[in-house]
Amino acid sequence: MPIPEPTFDSRGYREILNEALARIPVHNPEWTNFNDADPGVTLLQLFAFMSESIIYRANRIPERNRRKFLRLLGESVRAPEAARGLVSFSNPRGALQSVGLAEDLEVLAGKTPFRTGNALEVLPIEARVYYKAPLTDTQSKETETLYRRLYASFEQEQGALSFYETRRLEPPQAGAPLPVVDLAKPLATAGTLSESHDTVDGALWLALFARPNEEPAQARAAIAGRVLTLGAMPALGASGCLLPSGGTLGSEDLGLLFEVPNTAPGTSGEALDRYSRVEARGSTNLLLHPGVVELSLPAAGQLGYWDDLDPLEAGAGNFPPALEDTADAERLVTWVRIRPAPNADGSDAQGLQARFSWLGINAAEVVQRAWVPAESLPRGTGEPDQGATLTHRPVLLETVTLRVNGEPWQRVDDLSAAPPEVQTQAATRVTTSDPTASGGGGERVYTLDRESGEIRFGDGLHGARPPLGAQIQVSYAHGGGVAGMVGTGAITKGPGLPAGIKVANPLPTYGGDRGETLAEAERRIPAFLHHRDRLVAPQDFVEIAWRTPGVELGRVEVLPLVHPEQAAQVSRGVVTLLVVPAADALHPRSPEPDRLFLEAVCRYLAPRRLVTTELHVRGPIYEDIWLSLGIEVVPGREQPPVRDAVKAAVETFVSPLTGGFEAAGWPLEKTLDPLEISAVASRVSGVAKVVGVLLGDAAGAARERIELSGLQLPRLRGVAVSSDAPTSLDALLGASGGTPAGQRQPFPVPVVPVSC
């Protein structure tokens, strides 16, 4: 028998008043004037109004008790997450000298404030990023033959030649996909390179230029010995994230080497393509996360390049790529070669994901937040459990500094573990072995709820009470939510910027989250009693992953004892987690998680897993399919709306988020069967009969069934719905304008530009 729920009084003002008026003839038959002007009716109206208020408050008692119980569990509503990003400063017309910018500088995207996370020097130079792109097989064989004749001696001395063209890593454009260049070093085979490699040498080349109308020698002297702040954004595409058993999320080494040309001649006076390493300081692995690195530039005499090379040597071997524009070549100050760090034995690292979408100088990290330098709270009362609420929220906890009478107090998660404000003899014996828990300020603590801004002090036995009349002051930063998710170029100004300094964000910001609603928190907090924030059972992985801040999840699947690369066998101690974003602007019908998405999930799950668990967080592997349906429409119904409805129903049925018969996303390991597609189409209003269904694979070949395994999910590349017989798959592929899987459209680029 289920537990019965209490019966609530749902009567309102009108029901109470009507009931009172109906009782008048029973108790006082002489009272016959029920108009509003009658004083007795006025009293009944007042009674009904007050009764309605009491009933409303009484009906909310169970809800209040439930929320109070949830608060006693120590869980609160998850606050919005602050967006982060990268900005780049420039000094296009100022004096030829560096300009220092302090940390925590405010910049604005409209009215949305951001704060920089690092100090930097804005150097008076410009920069571009180039790479050596290999020639494609579709380029002219005559051109290759000509170059082989020119470089015949190099081929005899250096081995097989790898022909390339100099390309620029173009800056990202608003509304367009981010550019990507892969630094995975290719393997030469018979003098050719695979088109899957983006570079011939596995390096990016950062060219530093003097500003227009300025001499390179003057710019070189201005930046010599200075710190060049370089920002980097790794490519967002990633296959997955790994949390090894007993390990951490990954190394925080930079992962890259930065080198400048060493122009010292050899013993015989010839130019040698050698480089000197530049001291680099940073706390972020730039192969995995967006970040900033500080490069200590050498003296002016070491900031050069080879400007007297033989025409055949320019750009050959390990020399920097040749600049085709002579105006750019005349403004060149120096080059910085950027490549993945080698192994400890000096060999090239294999299997690295070194893919970048943007690099830029004079960069800084920013967080969407506003600063409150000093907010005064009510003075201390000397009473237990004193509380106060901050004016602005959500609060960024790492920025909070609270002082009572000028002395700093520490923030803790739980006041019950704090020592008493007056040390007893028993407490002294307990804390003598722990200096940090002694009476040297360990009792001066408080708790702070980030979402509500509520501050609470101790009761004297667990944490100290603020003294009577004590002055309490807090400095903190606040921010968060989707307001900080701005597009490329939205950050354009800063009230504290020096004259002539400009700022812009070359990339969209990321990581901003709207936070949790009260209804979502009430559904989540009871689940906390089951998993206690620990990843043990399969359901724990699903429930905790859904709570990841900063991302919008659309689907989570857990595969215990499954390794993503060995799905057919049982892998003990291994768990694979499939995550699908709720939305993807580039792939709306088949959302794909990017690197930042996967890293956010990994970082949230890392401290909550068992140390013996090897956790793989992966996105789906989409299998392209083509569908063609033929239907008969019910007589009297218009055909175009019915065909559109059938197409929408089929797209929904095979969707990774809403597919399947349970509308929870296409199930894993489920075979695609045309009979099921036919059943879905036949249920659409206006369809009299499904004539036939044609199912095609990624190449467009007709298939009776398509079996999916592992993390594979279907991706509908194209669907055609026609009257009577279904359209052939060949016609469907031709109408779509797509190219067969695995092939690329030729993109002819001349090796040497022809000019008049």
Q: What is the pLDDT of residues 361-387, one digit of tens each?
A: 999 999 999 999 999 999 999 999 999
Pick from 366, 342, 305: which is nearest to 84 by CA? 366
Model confidence at 252, in pLDDT bands (50, 70, 90)? low
H/E element, 274:
strand 274-277
Structure confidence at residue 434 (pLDDT): 46
**How buried is 497 (Cβ within 10 angstroms: 0-12 exposed, 13-18 middle, 19+ buried)?**
middle
Could you write out the three-class secondary structure of 589-647? CCCCCEHHHHHHHHHHHHHHECCCCEEEEECCEEEEEEEEEEEEECCCCCHHHHHHHHH
CA distance 204 to 359: 10
Q: Is residue 231 scored above 80 in pLDDT?
A: yes
**How buried is 291 (Cβ within 10 angstroms: 0-12 exposed, 13-18 middle, 19+ buried)?**
buried
Helices 39-59, 61-72: axis angle to 10 degrees equals 30
Pick from 407, 389, 515, 528: which is nearest to 449 by CA? 389
CA distance 733 to 698: 10
Residues contacting residue 338 through CB under 8 Å, at least 6 positions apart:
203, 204, 205, 206, 256, 257, 258, 359
CA distance 688 to 639: 11
CA distance 326 to 297: 25
Average pLDDT, the chain: 85
Q: Is the distance from CB of 229 to CB of 162 less than 8 angstroms?
A: no
CA distance 336 to 260: 5
Per DSSP, what are the bridge partners of residue 120?
101
Q: ω into residue 635 within 30 of 0, thus cis?
A: no
Cα distance between the two ends of the chain: 92
CA distance 467 to 479: 31
Q: What is the pLDDT of residues 173-197, one digit of tens each?
A: 987 888 999 887 654 443 444 445 7
Cβ neighbour number for residue 103 with a 10 Å cutoff: 11
Helix (H, G, I), strand (E, B) or coil at 381: coil
Per DSSP, what are the bridge partners of residue 580?
555
Q: What is the pLDDT of residues 70-128, one digit of tens each?
A: 777 777 788 888 999 999 999 999 999 999 999 999 999 999 999 999 999 999 999 99
Tokens of 568: 């057919």
Structure confidence at residue 689 (pLDDT): 93
